[in-house]
Structure 1
């Protein structure tokens, strides 16, 4: 029994260590009332912290902070580091969540594009979505945020994506809601839970 308990305790400690952590502060320079989070909060008003964040320290993970509840409206994405002042975003945060980081091969060079350059030049568009998980089938090219892929007749169809520049967030619902994953440059089959379920896409960095 003791070995089993020890194993469970070790697993719990590993999972805890892997979780992200962010601290928000009501004033600039990490002053004022602090709020430390390790889980998503869909509505900061419920814990008395709505529209109060002015600075942050991200100890681990990548976090999205949005101006409306349920991760709506304008959002900023923060990686590990210290942010002494939210320029242009002061006292506007209403929801916070850690983002999954997509894994893929970085430094992708566009060697096997299926399309003509379409005016994008040799490098191609910033993002392409494909219906097939192996970067085949129907696809669409994107250069800007799309709050609903219904407008592009590609809702709930994406199985993979190629990112050529920047970091892009794909989400399962319109307006960047629901489960979301962020991907940097590379070729990325979408994970279970998002394969064939993406409804919105936006650049976050």
Structure 2
């Protein structure tokens, strides 16, 4: 009887762990059509699934996933939260690697546990990968996300124009402007976490100033 109880507890424990694992499904056509592949762990090269540069839509069943245009999580990357993505816009047929991200306990983006008052937090994996700035579609680090490590003359190239609502800066001071080519009204932020920004949904370009 005791052995049976131990076996049942072990099985329940394994089931719980499996339930917590993230899952991302990529589809070769928009609107979840064509061939598909489901990922449940870091995949540095989608060639192993014969799915390199083939994804056109996605479903995140659990977790938050980073998808990148190059193998080994290089190049431009985008973060997909739980939900359905019938099109991948600027990342259509460009994804070569994907991995699940760690998340904080209070929701939103949880890789940097610094304070939300603009003070510098811990350097995170994005800094190690080279992204000095993370842009978020919604306030408090929610929604679609794009990592930036060089000057950006227009966020239209990332399909992210006039949608930025919160920012994380891990390195340097950056100028954010409401027109392309660093024109119009601009504001400068240093390293820190900014859950709400003054130029909400009005940023079109950014560049490092120090």
Report SS of the residue matched to 2:90: coil
Task: Give the Cα separation in 2 of the matches to 1:68 and 1:81.
Answer: 23
| Cα contact 1:102–1:184 (8 A) shared by 2 | no
C-alpha spacing 1:109/1:52, structure 2 compared with 1 (3 Å): closer
Q: Write out the 4+ residue segments of structure 1 that deviate beyond 4 Å after TM superposition.
A: 142-147, 167-170, 183-186
Unaligned runs of 5+ residues in structure 1 are 111-123, 132-141, 148-164, 171-182, 187-205
Task: Give the Cα separation in 1 of the matches to 2:75 and 2:41.
Answer: 20
TM-score normalised to the size of structure 1? 0.55
The aligned residue for residue 4 of structure 2 is 2
Task: Give the Cα separation in 1 of the matches to 2:25 and 2:90.
Answer: 19
Task: Give the Cα separation in 1 of the matches to 2:63 and 2:77.
Answer: 16
Unaligned runs of 5+ residues in structure 2 are 109-114, 124-131, 135-146, 150-165, 172-191, 196-210
The aligned residue for residue 57 of structure 1 is 59
The aligned residue for residue 194 of structure 1 is none
Task: Give the Cα separation in 2 of the matches to 1:28 and 1:130.
Answer: 38
Cα distance, 1:168 vs. partner? 6.9
Cα distance, 1:98 vs. partner? 0.4
TM-score normalised to the size of structure 2? 0.54
Task: Give the Cα separation in 2 of the matches to 1:105 and 1:185.
Answer: 15
The aligned residue for residue 79 of structure 1 is 81
Report SS of the residue matched to 1:46: helix
The aligned residue for residue 93 of structure 1 is 95
The aligned residue for residue 22 of structure 1 is 24
Report SS of the residue matched to 1:17: helix
Cα distance, 1:27 vs. partner? 0.3
Task: Give the Cα separation in 1 of the matches to 2:102 and 2:148.
Answer: 20
The aligned residue for residue 173 of structure 1 is none
Task: Give the Cα separation in 2 of the matches to 1:49 and 1:105.
Answer: 31
Work out the number of aligned pairs and report it. Answer: 133
